[in-house]
Chains A and B, each alone.
Chain A
Amino acid sequence: GNSVTQMEGPVTLSEEAFLTINCTYTATGYPSLFWYVQYPGEGLQLLLKATKADDKGSNKGFEATYRKETTSFHLEKGSVQVSDSAVYFCALSAGGGYQKVTFGTGTKLQVIP
């Protein structure tokens, strides 16, 4: 079946540091890939997505590139802010008639001033 593996947290960074959160996946066919963000006490929000190999998703300074050869979709940001502190979820959708989404277990990011 489909699965998503992401690096365990928590990840603690100083403000303005570079962020990488690793995500790899297993899926049949050609899935779409997503990053969601969850702020404390809230539901998940779509951060960015990529629908085919070599696509780069980007939003709010975050980027991730769909790498089919390494089955990866790592999240990066050049300079994190305290307001980026949240839990980040990597996910994939393999379609199949409806948008069944498989989520990773989440990586907590804490940014300190």
Chain B
Amino acid sequence: NAGVTQTPKFRVLKTGQSMTLLCAQDMNHEYMYWYRQDPGMGLRLIHYSVGEGTTAKGEVPDGYNVSRLKKQNFLLGLESAAPSQTSVYFCASGDEQFFGPGTRLTVL
């Protein structure tokens, strides 16, 4: 089992560019989550999904969109990146929150 995987691991964007982060899990979990981690602020929930075809907003959803077309995949999109979105992004799945290794995103 690979667990939870995230691609890419690192990315640098210019302001206004778009990108998609991919999260994949092979544990057949219904719940999946996207968090961002910033110094001194812990983890904040961006969006989550309780099953294939469903998504919902978390604490800090503005500027992000998500899709869950397949149960094993949860995509996070940035339509027009801003420097405030520089962060480390973590995907998690399952009741006990199995985490992926993270994506470090820098927006210049």
Q: Tell me the A residues contacting B by CB distance below 8 Å.
A: 34, 36, 41-46, 49, 89, 97-101, 103-106
B42 touches A104 (CB 8 A): yes
A98 touches B31 (CB 8 A): yes
* Interface check B96, CB cutoff 8 A: yes
Residues of B within 8 A of A45 (CB): 99
Which of B43-51, B68-76, B78-86 sits within the interface?
Answer: B43-51
Residues of A within 8 A of B96 (CB): 34, 46, 49, 99
B97 touches A105 (CB 8 A): no
* Interface check B95, CB cutoff 8 A: yes
Tell me the dominant secondary structure on chain B's binding face: loop
- Specify which of A43, A98, A99, A101 is in contact with B102 (CB 8 Å cutoff): A43
Q: A98-B48, A99-B95, A99-B97 are in contact. Are A89 and B42 (CB under 8 A)?
A: yes
B43 touches A98 (CB 8 A): no
B101 touches A89 (CB 8 A): no
Q: A98-B31, A98-B48, A99-B31 are in contact. Are A43 and B99 (CB under 8 A)?
A: yes
Name the residue in A97, A99, A104 with the highest tally of chain B Cβ atoms < 10 Å from its Cβ: A99
B97 touches A98 (CB 8 A): no
Cα–Cα distance between A35 and B96 once the two chains are bound (Å): 11
Residues of B within 8 A of A44 (CB): 43, 90, 92, 97, 99
Residues of B within 8 A of A46 (CB): 96-98
4 tightest A-B CB contacts, nearest first = A43-B99, A105-B42, A103-B42, A103-B43
- Specify which of B41, B95, B100, B101 is in contact with A105 (CB 8 Å cutoff): B41
Name the residue in A45, A89, A101, A105 with the highest tally of chain B Cβ atoms < 10 Å from its Cβ: A101
B97 touches A101 (CB 8 A): yes
Having A44-B97, A100-B45, one finds 5 other A-B pairs with CB under 8 Å, namely A41-B101, A42-B102, A44-B99, A99-B96, A103-B43
B50 touches A43 (CB 8 A): no
